[in-house]
Every structure is written in C-alpha cells, then in structure tokens.
C-alpha cells in the first residue's frame, strides 16, 4: 500500500476558524469586496505575511481573481510578502524626521541588529524597515513598533528599545498601549479589538499646543449667530462660497481697471473703445 503524501502546509488552505472570520469581515460592508484590506490584515495575523493561500482564500470569498487580490497586496506597504518578526520596527526617514536624526537612527539600528532594510534578525524577533511619514512630525524623529509611536528618539534610545524588545522586556508606546506582537497588531487592524485602545494618553502637549493657544485667546471655529461651531460641511461650503465671491470681485476689479487704462490711452475717457 502506497503511503499517502501529506500536502505542503501552503497548499492546504487556511484553517476553518480563519475562513469563518474572513467571511465575518465581509458582512461589515455594503460591498463585500470593500472588506479586502482588513481581510489581508487577518491573513497576516495568522500567517505572519500575505501568503499564496491567503490570497486564494480572499479571492474565493470575494469572487475576485488571485491577480486582483495580489495587486492590492503588493500596492500597500503594510502588506508583507516575506515573514515579519515579532516586532516590526519602522524608522521614519522622511524629510523632517531625517534631518532631526532619523537617518542616523536607521543606520545605527542596521549595524546594531546586523540587518538591512526590510530584513529580520536571525532570532526572528525584529524586522527593521525605513518608512515614510508617520504623521507625527511634532515628535520627530519617530520610530514605530507594530504601528505604535515611540517619540523623540535618538540612536541610543532606539538601540535600547530594540534590545528590550528582543529580550522580552515590556515596552509601552509613548502615547499608546503596551506593545503587542506584530501578529496581534494585525488582528486588531483586521477589526478584532484587543480592548486596549484606551491604554495610554491619546495625545501629547505638542499636538495640543494649537488648541491651548486657541482657548487662551478665545478663538473659535466659524459658527452660527449663537457662536456654535458649524458642521464641517457648512464650514467647507462657507469657505467655497467666500472663495467664489472673492474671485468674482477680483475679476470685476481687473476688468474695470483694464477698461480705464484702455480708455485713458485711447482718448482720456473711460470708454474701452477709446471713443468720446
């Protein structure tokens, strides 16, 4: 009797629970295909990356081709085609962070961890990547660990950070929760909360500075006659109306100015044709 050859893990498909959760995600959207992004995050939370069987599973559930799913998975940098370590460390090297020391941090971590960009340490604990703007310029230079902010970093503090992560020391984000593993973070991004959203402060002094100044000086947003702030739509419409009005007045002023100039050149009158 011939022994049955077990199919490779990659060819066996995702487990039943993961398939059920992928289908559950689709019920959150009027159009099922809109669920693809969180579905891919769920795949990463299980597989550690976007695998071929994860792509096939998403395609089958959504009625898409594997090529369409792959096109999305390769377009966004948050989706990985190579295994990611327990902690994805992203160093912002965009303009402001770079000039504030982001480039120096990235170079130090590459040497310290003995890895290149988008590579993982041999122990599988840390994946290092230089990333684009994290929208936290008021705390530059910024490092992110599994998408949580570590503010105002230096080469020395960033080195201590990755050493703590590798040794199992509990690390807390500067303005957020305790750092979880990358797979756990991916599950949260898939829409399965870990009930830790309220851990840590939501914002720090630099982010709130504008609000504090506004309160001190009595500044308020545009509103109605009772001083209540209007809705964003009302405010946007008001700005648009003002823009159109200003432009119309400007064009009228230019036209009248031009007419006067032509008239004066032609005969000292305001007739644009120069007649009497």
Determine contact, residues 199/176, Cβ cutoff 8 Å. Answer: yes
User: How much of the chain is in helix, strand and coil states, percent to nearest 5?
Assistant: 50, 10, 40
* Beta bridge mates, 218: none
* Beta bridge mates, 87: 126
Closest CA to 139 of 128, 129, 153: 153
Q: What is the pTM of this model?
A: 0.73
Q: What tokens appear for 237 in the block? A: 């419409």
pLDDT, residue 126, reads 98
Q: Measured between alpha carbons, how far is 270 from 119 in angstroms, rounded to an integer?
A: 74
Q: Measured between alpha carbons, how far is 164 from 173 in angstroms, rounded to an integer?
A: 13
Q: What tokens appear for 90 in the block? A: 């992203």
Domains of the chain, earliest start first: 9-75 (1.10.10), 87-182 (3.40.30.10), 230-276 (no CATH)
List per-residue pLDDT tens for the chain, 276 residues long. Answer: 445 544 444 557 899 999 999 999 999 999 999 999 999 999 999 999 999 999 999 999 999 999 999 999 999 999 999 999 999 999 999 999 999 999 999 999 999 999 999 999 999 999 999 999 988 999 999 999 999 999 999 999 999 999 999 999 999 999 889 999 999 999 999 999 998 888 877 778 888 899 999 999 999 988 755 545 454 444 444 544 444 445 444 444 544 444 443 334 434 433 333 433
3-state secondary structure of 178: strand
* Beta bridge mates, 119: 128
> ∠100-104-109 over CA atoms, to 5°?
130
pLDDT, residue 3, reads 52
Determine contact, residues 149/176, Cβ cutoff 8 Å. Answer: yes
**Over the range 66-93, which residues count as b (16 or more CB within 10 Å of their CB) and which as e?**
eebbbebbeeeebbbeeebbbbbbbbbb
């Amino acid at each position: 009797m011939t022994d049955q050859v077990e199919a490779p893990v990659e060819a066996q498909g995702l487990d039943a629970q993961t398939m059920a959760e992928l289908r559950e995600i689709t019920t959150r959207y009027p159009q099922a295909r809109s669920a693809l992004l969180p579905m891919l995050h769920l795949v990463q939370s299980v597989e550690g990356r976007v695998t071929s069987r994860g792509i096939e599973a998403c395609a089958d559930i959504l009625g898409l081709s594997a090529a369409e799913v792959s096109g999305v998975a390769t377009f966004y940098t948050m989706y990985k085609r190579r295994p990611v370590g327990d902690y994805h460390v992203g160093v912002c090297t965009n303009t402001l962070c770079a000039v504030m020391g982001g480039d120096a941090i990235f170079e130090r971590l590459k040497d310290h961890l003995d890895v290149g960009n988008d590579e993982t340490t041999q122990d599988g604990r840390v994946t290092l990547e230089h990333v684009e703007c994290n929208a936290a310029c008021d705390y530059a230079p910024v490092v992110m660990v599994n998408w949580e902010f570590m503010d105002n970093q230096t080469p020395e503090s960033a080195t201590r950070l990755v050493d703590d992560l590798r040794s199992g020391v509990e690390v807390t984000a500067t303005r957020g929760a305790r750092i979880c593993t990358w797979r756990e973070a991916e599950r949260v991004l898939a829409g399965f909360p870990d009930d830790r959203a309220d851990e840590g402060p939501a914002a720090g002094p630099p982010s709130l500075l504008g609000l504090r100044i506004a309160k001190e000086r009595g500044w308020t947003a545009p509103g109605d006659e009772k001083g209540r702030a209007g809705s964003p739509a009302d405010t946007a419409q008001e700005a648009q109306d003002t823009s159109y009005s200003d432009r119309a007045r400007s064009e009228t002023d230019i036209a009248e100015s031009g007419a006067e100039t032509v008239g004066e050149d032609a005969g000292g009158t305001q007739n644009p044709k120069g007649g009497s």
